[in-house]
Structure 1
Amino acid sequence: MKLGLALPTFGPDAHPDGILHISRTAEDMGYDSLWTGDRVLAPRMPSAPYPSADGRMPRAYENHMDPLVALTFVASHTTRVRLGTSTLNGLWLPPLLLARSLTTLDLLSEGRLTVGLGLGWMPDEYTALSVPWKGRGARLDETLDVLEGYWSDDVFSHEGPLFTVPETVVGLKPSQRPGPPVLLAAFTPVGLRRIGRRLGGWLPVAMPLPHLLGMWDVIRKSAAEADRDPDTLHMALRVNPQLTDVRTEPDRMPRAGTLAQYVDYARAAAEAGVHELFVDFGQTSATLDERVDLAGRFLDGVRRG
């Protein structure tokens, strides 16, 4: 199982030195990937609760960087690690601009980009960007149509219910062909089936492994029904540790526990067939140096297993 680490693109460490320190250290340690998230608002009174146990949005989100610009910066200071978004809210940009940005980043990183898309959880951000909250699934499907056409066709056009792209020559192509892998964060039956039908894989968040594997089975069956090989799909599992000083009861994991418990969870995920797991120590109150220490101890613990 490959291991990744979230970059400090949120909170007090979201500055050039912090990003450089984490990205270079993670690559030197032996991490396989680095990840960014996506926010445009931190409303004082959001219209929907944050999807967590207490419903509160992390204070770190009050300071947020552009994920693709941050990854471009990281690409210029690393050579090996893959660069992923978890998640990029892909509906906030017109799909043609999204295709150009992703293609450029994949080219500049020499084929290290993993595109993790999500639909977000907060209608306020859609309102601020003049993008409809309703109809997100249909908008996502048409966005994927544009991405696929832009990456595969030398002469491309698109005519759909939401977007029109006049016929154009597309000279810019990504390093990865036909394009960078596109994963989706989805948890509804419709979203899981969409992954199996047309995407490169799944971006789940940490949950009890039996539940995780049950949802993965839905994805794999949907892929087989669409005449796709389920074994080509990739699962990248995001873990947001809520670290405690003493071991928690098993029913609280992976929502909260000690670092050793999260190491055990990662080992169990590897044995269960999870392809990649990445951890975000930015969800804790740790300083930058403490995050580096946690990252090193976590990596050593999992690798020893």
Structure 2
Amino acid sequence: MRLGLALPTFGTDAHADGVITVSRTAEALGYDSLWTGDRVLAPRSPSTPYPSQDGVMPRIYENHMDPLTSLAFAAHTSRVRLGTSTLNGLWHPPMMLARSLTTLDVLSRGRLDVGLGLGWMPDEYAAVGVPWEGRGARLDETLDILETYWAEDEFAHQGRLFTVPETVVGLKPEQRPGPPVLLAAFNPAGLCRVARRASGWLPVAMPLPHLMSMWKTITEEAESADRDPSGLRMALRVNPTLTEVEAHAEQFPRSGTLDQYIAYARAAAESGVHELFIDLGQSPASLDERIDIAGRFIAAVRRG
């Protein structure tokens, strides 16, 4: 199983030195990938509760960096892959998104993993002038445009939501026919879209039997669509809330000790999870302390 680490693009360590330090240290420690998330607002009272047990959005999101620009900075590494988990792609006009993603894949020499999600907060859609309703259809047409933009030398699009006049597309991604696109999804329609359209799935940490049951749904749906499910991959996000005392079963994996998360990662590998990455950004620890935790985590998981 591949292991990844989130970049410090939120909170007090969201600055140049933080991104450079974590990028280079993660690569030196043996991590396989670096990941960023996406926020444009941090309201005191969101219109929709944050998707967590207490419904409260972490205050680290008050200080947020652009995910793609941050990955471009991290592209100064040489080996690790660079991913978004997730990029709220619907906030961008599809042609602008296609240009940005293609540029990043070129600059990173073909190391980009495009993780797209729909977000959870209508306030952010209002702020960027994109309708909250109809997100699924907007995502489907965005995927249509990305796929054709990457594949064709001459390109035009006429859809229900977007019109692109005919154009020559000279800049092509290093990865052909394009960077892998993974989708965050949890409802039946979203899981079906993963199975039929994407390169993989971006879930968040949950009890492994439930996780693998959802993955089984994806693979079965892929087979019904005449796609080879072995070509799909899962990249599992884990947001540890570290405790000194071992968490009860009903609290984990929302919170737990480092040893519990290490055991979870080992079990995930045995269950068939392809990649697992941790985001230590919600920890109150300093950047140096989080780097130490990341080092202990990968060393212990690899030993297992």
* TM norm. shorter chain > 0.5: yes
Opposite residue 131 of structure 1, the aligned amino acid is V
1:133-187: per-residue Cα shift (whole Å, max 9, x none)? 0000000000000000000011111000000001111011000000000000000
CA-CA distance at 1:113 after TM superposition: 0.2
**Counterpart of 1:5?**
5
Q: Distance in 1 between matches of 2:286 and 2:160?
A: 48
Secondary structure of 1:237 counterpart: strand
Q: How does 1:38-57 map to 2 (within 5 A)?
A: 38-57=38-57
Q: Does 1:62 align with 2:62?
A: yes
Structure-1 residue corresponding to 2:87: 88
Query: Which residue is equivalent to 2:256?
Result: 257
2: CA distance, partners of 1:69 / 1:252: 35
Instruction: Report which stretch shifted further, 250-259 or 145-154.
Output: 250-259
Equivalent residue number for residue 222 of structure 2: 223
**In the aligned structure 2, how far is the partner of 1:252 from the partner of 1:268?**
17
Alignment of 1:13-162 (within 5 A): 13-75=13-75, 77-162=76-161
Question: How far apart are residue 44 of structure 1 and its match?
Answer: 1.4
- The one-letter code sitting in structure 1 at the alignment partner of 2:26 is A
Query: What are the within-5 Å matches in structure 2 for residues 183-262 of structure 1?
Result: 183-262=182-261
Displacement of 1:250 in angstroms is 2.1
Query: How far apart are the structure 2 equivalents of 1:133 and 1:251?
Result: 33
Alpha-carbon offset, residue 286 of structure 1: 1.1
Unaligned residue ranges in structure 1 (runs of 5+): none
Distance in 2 separating the partners of 1:59 and 1:164:
39
Distance 1:123 1:230 in 2: 33
Counterpart of 1:227, as a letter, is: D
Moved over 2 A (4+): none
Instruction: Give the secondary-structure state (helix, strand or coil) at the position aligned to 1:27.
Output: helix
Aligned length: 304
Residue 87 of structure 1 aligns to a residue whose secondary structure is coil
2:14 and 2:3 map into 1 onto residues whose CA distance is 22
Tell me the equivalent position of 1:178: 177
Return the letter of the residue paired with 2:233.
Answer: H
- Specify the code of the residue in structure 2 equivalent to 1:21: T
Instruction: Give, as a single letter, the amino acid of the residue that structure 2 aligns with 1:47.
Output: S
Distance (whole Å) between structure 2 residues aligned to residue 96 and residue 54 of structure 1: 38
**Could you tell me the TM-score, scaled by structure 1's length?**
0.99
Describe the SS at the equivalent of 2:165. Answer: strand
Residue number in structure 2 paired with 1:163: 162
Distance 1:214 1:283 in 2: 28
Give the residue type in structure 2 aligned to 1:160. Answer: G
Separation in structure 2 between the aligned mates of residue 300 and residue 155 of structure 1, nearest angstrom: 48
SS of the aligned residue for 1:45 comes to coil
Distance 2:96 2:253 in 1: 37
In 1: Cα distance, 2:303 partner to 2:160 partner: 52
Percent identity (aligned) = 73
User: Which residue in 1 is equivalent to 2:276?
Assistant: 277
Task: String of CA shifts for 1:250-302, please: whole Å, max 9, x gaps.
Answer: 22211111000000000000000000000001121111001101000100110
Q: Which amino acid aligns with 2:40?
A: V
RMSD: 0.5
CA distance in 1, matches of 2:123, 2:24: 35
In 1, Cα distance between equivalents of 2:43 and 2:59: 11
- Supply the distance in 1 between the matched residues of 2:220 and 2:170 (Cα, whole angstroms): 37
* Superposed CA offset, 1:226-258 (max 9, x none): 110000001000000011101111222111110
What is the deviation of 1:45? Answer: 1.3
Q: Which amino acid aligns with 1:152?
A: A
Q: What residue identity is the alignment partner of 2:261?
A: Y
The CA deviation at 1:126 is 0.2
AA at the equivalent of 2:57:
M
Q: Distance in 1 between matches of 2:296 and 2:259?
A: 9
Residue 13 of structure 2: SS of its match in structure 1? coil
Spell out, residue by residue over 1:182-228, the C-alpha distance to the aligned partner (whole angstroms, 9 max, x if none): 00000000000110011000000000001001100111011111110
